[in-house]
Structure 1
């Protein structure tokens, strides 16, 4: 990315020309079967594509009743997000902006305005994938991410054809920590201490 894009929230230019995909792509860490779209005319998972399909417009997510859209994206690991990758539109079907909420898996259209977003991005119209830098301090330990589109840029519906992320991930520890607490001491399990009840025992005696 150029220096201008490093300091701009809404850089819509395509700096991602490597056909092998960026090494810090988080595609493999997205729980694709459980991606949910609210007010979506299609399954939310259609926009989660491998890197080599990012420019494919045949599969897309479009809003249904109006131009608002919510996309809930769970991850299979704990991720640290650096950038949002987005391909939307064309034209007036491009989101006006996208607000992102980290670790808020149950947000809907009624509750989304009651919570402060982790970041808000203005979306630019374009024909290629745009990279939008994120404030990593706000997305440092993310297990799920909610994207909210409040309006399209003039059309009655919003259309998104690709969503991806750049960043780092760490394996989630699913095993619970088991701690056993003794509700009441069992004297048979413990050595008697000298001076207690006038008795004393020692190993080997």
Structure 2
């Protein structure tokens, strides 16, 4: 049973195992459109893509992204084509802010506000500072959740006839008969 603090693993207060199913929970990296993914302020172009990978590969220290000019990194992760965030946009209030801990094993989890991340098709992650170094180096970012294909409903233009217009309907004229009931 969980007791609210961490012993080098998850700090979310829930019990977890390292069973293969845990890797399946972190499968959202497979849905990222890597050709459209951006990492701003990366020192080596394209290296930001390498940190989104399988849970089982989180310990691979040969793949990483390092910041260039300062400690900031900004990931724009599209799951479909949506406009990109810039450093100018980081002044706006974030949907959620995390206070990160050093995690050499790549096992810490940060619980999200589920209501803020339902039906996400684009995610921006802004790393604004680190633990005092001039540059930030990240080896792994795991994205946990469920993926569902977006269903887009196109606008359909319909004309509805509220009352019939007699000139629109070719009807043979019939002899009018009148019946009286007394």
Deviations 1:29-82 (A, max 9, x none): 2222222100011322111112221111101011001111101111159xxxxx
- With the length of structure 1 as denominator, give the TM-score of the two structures: 0.66
Change (3 A) 1:201 1:118: farther
The Cα RMSD (Å) is 3.2
Change (3 A) 1:60 1:191: same
Instruction: Give the structure 2 partner of residue 142 of structure 1.
Output: 120
| Structure 2 residue matching 1:132: 3-state secondary structure | coil
Q: 5+ residue gaps in structure 2?
A: 174-182
Q: Is 1:109 the equivalent of 2:110? A: no
Task: Find the aligned partners of 1:12 and 1:60 in 2 and give their Cα distance.
Answer: 25
Instruction: Give the structure 2 partner of residue 56 of structure 1.
Output: 60
Asked if the contact 2:33/2:80 (under 8 Å) is kept, the reply is: yes
Q: Who wins on radius of gyration, i.e. which is larger?
A: 2
Q: 5+ residue gaps in structure 1?
A: 78-102, 193-199
Q: CA deviation at 1:23?
A: 3.4
Q: Is 1:126 the equivalent of 2:103? A: yes
Higher strand share: 1
Equivalenced residues, count: 160
Asked if the contact 1:40/1:64 (under 8 Å) is kept, the reply is: yes
